[in-house]
Amino acid sequence: MKNNKEIKKFIKDKKKEGLSDQDIWNILIEAGHEKEDIEQYFPSKNINEEDFKPIHERERLKEEISQDKLGSFDDLNFDFIECSKDIYKRLIWKEGRWRTVLTAITSLIFFIYAINVGHPSYAFGGFLIISLYFVILHEKAKKEFYRDFSAKNNLNYRARGRLSEVVGNLFKVGHTKRIRNVITGKYGENKAKFFHYSYSIGHDRNRRTFNFTVLEVFFDEIIFPHMLLQTRGKGIFWSRRHGKRGKNERSVALESELNDYYNLFFHDGYGVEATQIFSEEFLRFLRDENSYFDIELNKDRLYIYDSTAVKRKKEFEELFRVAGRVINRIVPVLKRLKNDFAALNKYYN
């Protein structure tokens, strides 16, 4: 916001949304506005500067405080949850019927005017108006689905996350990195998160963007050596999607039938533990489930990566079904190796 009019309008709009003076003040400060520039718009009695924390920090603290009350990803209920496709239709034809009609009429006027005056830029304007309208509704429908899904399963939802909160190697690759739709709950006794992640490589015409769905499971008392089970794919980029291998990383030769599906990398010195965690039996289970997940152990986290952005209700159900079975198989092995890791970490790290 560059001028006073924009700030006033922003404050007015946020108050209509039901935000308090303190919340609006926090948003403006976080956006980079100086205290001296905005204090004229707020009664001093409504503002406590000592209470200021960036929005993402307040959301994170709220999430930690309510952690004991969080629901479990093990026992999800998808009944009575409206899928994003149905929400999208409702926003267009029920709740926003007249808005949709007016947008369509406005776009049509642009098209007709473009034909009459022979100026294609007006046709482009009409196309842009109708396209943006449906894109905005589509994004709104997805967020409403995530909020509804989280609320009905007693999970915590945030629209965005921070890169400083994750530790996997995938998050060190590329640029324009974004974490969205963060849903926090538990797997058993362990805190866990679901989120969408994207990053880009290259620039301009050579730019490519890649989307992932990530499950992150936290372990309070175990520090893992780095390990990565990576599904095989086509192309040089696909083999390097988690970045280049570290100088202390080694790989293990798998049986020929499994070698066509997976690569297994581990920190030097942890080969025995890696083959216990990612046993041939476990790898066959993954293959038979057609679950092309990458699985990474990094510091105190277990990451499960799906190379698509799972968004639909049926995709959600399938993801959590398979991921739950993966976690239930792998977590007991990780806990059993806790003391081994503690002893080896002192030697190798």
Q: Are residues 195 and 180 in the same domain?
A: yes
Q: Which two tokens stand for residue 106?
A: 């406005």
Q: Are residues 278 and 142 in the same domain?
A: no
Residue-wise pLDDT tens digits, 160-208: 888 888 998 889 888 889 999 999 999 888 899 999 999 988 888 888 8
Residue-wise pLDDT tens digits, 4-38: 777 777 777 777 667 777 777 777 776 666 666 77
pLDDT at residue 97, rounded to an integer: 87
pLDDT at residue 159, rounded to an integer: 86
- In angstroms, the Cα distances linking 220 to 41, 61, 62, 208, 223 are 45, 18, 19, 36, 8
Kindly state whether residue 215 falls inside one of the protein's structural domains. yes
**Residues 241, 320, 71: CA angle, nearest 5 degrees:** 120
Average pLDDT over residues 297-326: 86
Closest CA to 136 of 181, 180, 105, 103: 103
| Cβ atoms of residues 208 and 202 within 8 Å | yes
pLDDT at residue 36, rounded to an integer: 66
What's the domain count of the chain?
A: 3
Residue-wise pLDDT tens digits, 47-91: 555 444 555 555 554 555 455 567 888 888 887 788 888 888 888
Q: Are residues 135 and 180 in the same domain?
A: no
Sign of CA dihedral 234, 237, 241, 246: positive
Q: Which two tokens stand for residue 243?
A: 């970045």
Position 238 pLDDT exceeds 60: no
Q: Are residues 113 and 228 in the same domain?
A: no
Q: Rounded CA gap, 10 and 14, in Å?
A: 6
Position 146 pLDDT exceeds 60: yes
Burial 298-307 (b: 16+ CB within 10 A, else e): beebbbbbbe
CB half-sphere exposure, 311, CA atoms < 13 A: 17
Q: Are residues 184 and 204 in the same domain?
A: yes
How distant is the alpha carbon of residue 186 from its chain centre?
Answer: 16
**Residue partners of 238: CB distance under 8 A and separation at least 6:** none
What is the pTM assigned to this prediction? 0.73
Q: Are residues 97 and 215 in the same domain?
A: no
Kindly state whether residue 67 falls inside one of the protein's structural domains. no
Kindly state whether residue 77 falls inside one of the protein's structural domains. no
**Residue partners of 194: CB distance under 8 A and separation at least 6:** 73, 181, 182, 183, 184, 185, 213, 214, 215, 216
Q: Rounded CA gap, 107 and 131, in Å?
A: 10
Residue-wise pLDDT tens digits, 149-161: 888 888 999 888 8
Range of the domain at 224: 156-348
Q: Which of 110, 131, 152 is the last residue of a domain?
A: 152
Kindly state whether residue 72 falls inside one of the protein's structural domains. no
Backbone angles phi, psi at 184, to 5 degrees: -110, 135
pLDDT band at residue 235 under the 50/70/90 scheme: very low
- The residue whose two tokens read 């080969």 is 271
Strands (E), the chain: 156-160, 175-187, 190-201, 208-218, 224-231, 249-251, 262-267, 294-299, 301-306
**Residue partners of 290: CB distance under 8 A and separation at least 6:** none
Q: Are residues 117 and 246 in the same domain?
A: no
- For a pLDDT cut of 70, what percent of the chain falls above it? 82
